[in-house]
Amino acid sequence: MAKILIVDDSKVIRDLLTEFLGELSYQVDSAEDGAKGLKMASDGGYDLCICDVHLPKLNGYQILTELGEARGKMQFIFTDSLPDELADQIRKTTGFACLGKPFDLHQLTEIITQSLEKIHT
Amino acid sequence: MIWQWRLSDMKLRTKFVLPISALVMVCMIVLAGYLIQRQSESYHRELESQGETMIKILAINAESGVLFESPYELDPLLSTLSHFSSVEYCLIQNLEGNIISHIGQNHIPLDTLQVLRDCGRESINLVSDYIVGREGKELFVLVYPISTEKKVMPRETLGMTGGVDLSLTQSTVSETIGWIELGMSVESVEQATTHATTAAVFLTLIVLLATILIVILIVNAVVQPITTLVEATDKISRGDFSTIVQTDHDDEIGQLAKTINRMSASLRQSRNEIEQYNRTLEEKIIERTKQLDDAQTQLIQSEKMGAIGQLAAGVAHELNNPLGGILGYAQFTLEKLHKNIPDKTTPKEIEGYLRYVGDIELQTRRCKTIVQNLLRFSRSSRTVDFDEIDVNQVMGGTIAFVEHQLRMNNIELEVQLGTDLPTLQGNAGQLQQVFTNLIINAMHASEQNTVITITSRYHHALGEFGGTVEFNVIDSGHGIAQENIKKIFEPFFTTKDVGKGTGLGLSVSYGIIKEHGGEITVKSEIDKGTTFTVILPVQKKEQLADISKDDNSDGEQSV
Ligand SMILES: Nc1ncnc2c1ncn2[C@@H]1O[C@H](COP(=O)(O)OP(=O)(O)OP(=O)(O)O)[C@@H](O)[C@H]1O
Ligand SMILES: [Mg+2]
């Protein structure tokens, strides 16, 4: 089953996603700031990272760029609580989806399925 | 002194006419007087010479009559005098003083005449004088001796001549034998003089009148143009520069008139220019004041918006996570409730739970919309994509979206979209949001069975970049109170019930239209209706690119 990493400074979002995605029988881990998230992501083994844009220590975009080659086939789904320039930049340059909070769970699951399909193709 | 002052104070006409008339009059009087004097003198001389001639002729012819003292010879002689009207009387006397013959009446007292007569008797020459007779009648009286020639013997003569001239054998000696006295009436002379005087006076008057007339004519010819000039300059001095002095003279006055015309023309021009300047200045001041006001309002507005934007960004950032949790959990719960219903709960309870959680989800979505609207004020929300869009099509989409709601409210929609609208750079989603809000606002303001009109048209070269596109949303609803007009674009201003409106619609619309480089304006009359106008510029791509560049640099600081 696919492994998903959640990087979000908001506990309620981490809890919600952990439980919800767990229910959908994904293997879920989470980190509460950018530095931790980066470390866990680079340690490897995740198929997908649901990453907030605005994070303490390192923002979502930085995590992605720091990872570089180490990312491998890992996919990203960004979430943002503020549609600012950073979020916009991510939308425009990374090619990954960026969901505005509060997001729709059904929409999220759809995007997760799509992202995971990319790994296998 | 006083006279001088008066003269200088007199009108030009009087100044000319009076002295010239006076001068002419004096000249005429002097001349006439002199002429009359001369005339009268010559009349007298004529009378005198006539008298002299007459008396001398009479004396010669009366010689024998007197010698013989024969009135029969003398009377016919004197009667010839009756042909002369000027002869008053005539008498012939012998040496003893006896009147031998006479004609006419002697009106002169004898004692007055006596001296003259005595003189005449003594003299061998003519004696004459003017004598005033009875009744004041003046007469010219002449006395002349009548003499006879006596032949004297040479003897006698020799003794007297000393015998020098022997050839003169005999000589004649004249001897006085009587007198002749002739009285001539001066009346005719006086009459002639009076006639002459009358004529002179008459002539003087005529000449005087003619002079006055001519002087007046001349003065008029000179003064009339001057009066016109004076009137014209007076008008000009009172500010009437439209005055034009009509003149066909080519003299100094004509030139003066032309100069005055030129002067008034240039004054008129200057005044027009000054007025023009004043007007433009006024207009400029009004325009600038308005611009300043507008700029200030805009500054205040944008400051306000900026503050709201910052606040909104902070609030959004903080709210979106909890909202995400609420929405997520609500959806999660709903899903779970649908999948596995707990055994003990009744279907009715389940239905209740579903509704509760459903409501939570719905309200959270509402919150999400509010926060998103709020975020539009934040500068960071400006980075929307602009595409080449057909605004009529956007409006069409909006109408399709709201039509159902309008029909439910029994409100008719009249759509008049221009067919020549060009495409422009814009964000379809944002513009749709603006149009939706305008139509929904109009709907909320309208009574049932009324019409909302939507128009669009293209203004060719009004804007700087290829013209503008104008949209109007016109309703005949309750209108907006004057004091509220200024507030409607402010965030959170609403007159609607709590829950029905957030007061963000127009402020968001305002922000969106500004981002498009356009204008949104309102015209409203209480109980008559409201018209919202949106004007969007065509072709502003380069400028928009500049704005997004600025936003990027700002954005890095704000993160
Ligand atoms: N067509 C209209 N006729 C009369 N009043 C209007 C009209 N449009 C706007 N208004 C007034 O302007 C106010 C502000 O409008 P705005 O769209 O900003 O907020 P709202 O409609 O009250 O709420 P929201 O749009 O956020 O749901 C309205 O409450 C209303 O009083
Ligand atoms: Mg509204």
Digit-coded pLDDT (tens) for B475-533: 999 999 999 998 898 877 889 887 677 788 898 888 889 888 889 999 999 999 999 99
Q: How confident is the model at residue B243 (pLDDT cuts 50, 70, 90)?
A: confident
Inter-chain CB proximity A84 and B381 less than 8 Å: yes
Measure A6 CA to nearest chain B CA, in Å. 14
Task: State the ligand closest to the CA atom of B445.
Answer: 1
Q: Which of B471, B409, B470 is nearest to B435 (CA)?
A: B471
Q: Taking residues B54-72, what's their average pLDDT? A: 86
Inter-chain CB proximity A81 and B558 less than 8 Å: no
DSSP assignment of B6-46 equals HHHHS-HHHHHHHHHHHHHHHHHHHHHHHHHHHHHHHHHHH
Query: What is the structure's pLDDT at B217?
Result: 86
Amino acid at A48: L
Listed in sequence order, the residues at least 6 apart from B71 whose beta carbon sits closer than 8 Å to its beta carbon are: B65, B100, B101
Cα B122 to Cα B541: distance, rounded to the nearest angstrom: 151
Contacts of B382 in chain A (CB under 8 A): none
Inter-chain CB proximity A85 and B324 less than 8 Å: no
Inter-chain CB proximity B328 and A82 less than 8 Å: no
State both tokens at B163: 């015998």
Ligand 1 atom 12: residue of nearest CA: B488
The Cα angle at residue B233 between residues B231 and B236, in degrees rounded to 5:
110
**Tally of CB atoms within 10 A around B200:** 19
**What's the number of domains chain A is made of?**
1
Contacts of B360 in chain A (CB under 8 A): none
pTM of the predicted model as reported, rounded to 2 decimal places: 0.43
Q: Taking residues B399-427, what's their average pLDDT? A: 90
Residue A77 contacts B where some CB pair is shorter than 8 Å: no
Measure B341 CA to nearest chain A CA, in Å. 16
Measure A121 CA to nearest chain B CA, in Å. 30
Domains of chain B (ranges; CATH) run 2-151+173-198 (3.30.450.20), 384-559 (3.30.565.10)
> Which is higher by pLDDT, A1 or A116?
A116
* Interface pTM, i.e. ipTM: 0.89
Residue A88 contacts B where some CB pair is shorter than 8 Å: yes
Kindly report the backbone phi and psi dihedral angles of residue B497, in degrees, each rounded to the nearest multiple of 5, phi listed first. -60, 155
C-alpha gyration radius of chain B: 69
Which CATH number covers residue A113? 3.40.50.2300
Task: State the ligand closest to the CA atom of B502.
Answer: 1
pLDDT of B464 > 90? The answer is no
Query: What is the structure's pLDDT at B552?
Result: 41
Cα B180 to Cα B65: distance, rounded to the nearest angstrom: 12
Residue A84 contacts B where some CB pair is shorter than 8 Å: yes
Least CB–CB distance from A13: residue in B324, B332, B381: B324
Q: Taking residues B179-186, what's their average pLDDT? A: 86
For ligand 1, mutation pick of B472, B490, B494, B527 (most atoms within 8 Å of CB): B494
Task: State the ligand closest to the CA atom of B506.
Answer: 1
Ligand 1 atom 29: residue of nearest CA: B494
B373 lines ligand 1 (CB under 6 A): no
> Which is higher by pLDDT, B154 or B72?
B72
Chain B residues with a Cβ under 8 Å from any Cβ in chain A: 313, 316-317, 320-329, 331-332, 335, 364, 367-368, 372, 375, 378, 380-381, 383, 551-552, 554-556, 558-559
Digit-coded pLDDT (tens) for B80-103: 888 888 888 888 888 887 888 888
Measure A105 CA to nearest chain B CA, in Å. 6
Minimum CA–CA partner of A57 in chain B:
B559
Range of the domain at A77: 3-119
Q: Taking residues B425-441, what's their average pLDDT? A: 90
Least CB–CB distance from A101: residue in B324, B380, B551: B324
When mean pLDDT is compared across A27-41, B212-226, B296-310, B478-492, the lowest value belongs to B296-310
Q: For residue B478, which atom of ligand 1 is closest to its CA? A: 4
Identify the burial level of B353 via C-beta atoms within 10 angstroms of its C-beta, where 0-12 means exposed, 13-18 middle and 19 or more buried.
Answer: middle
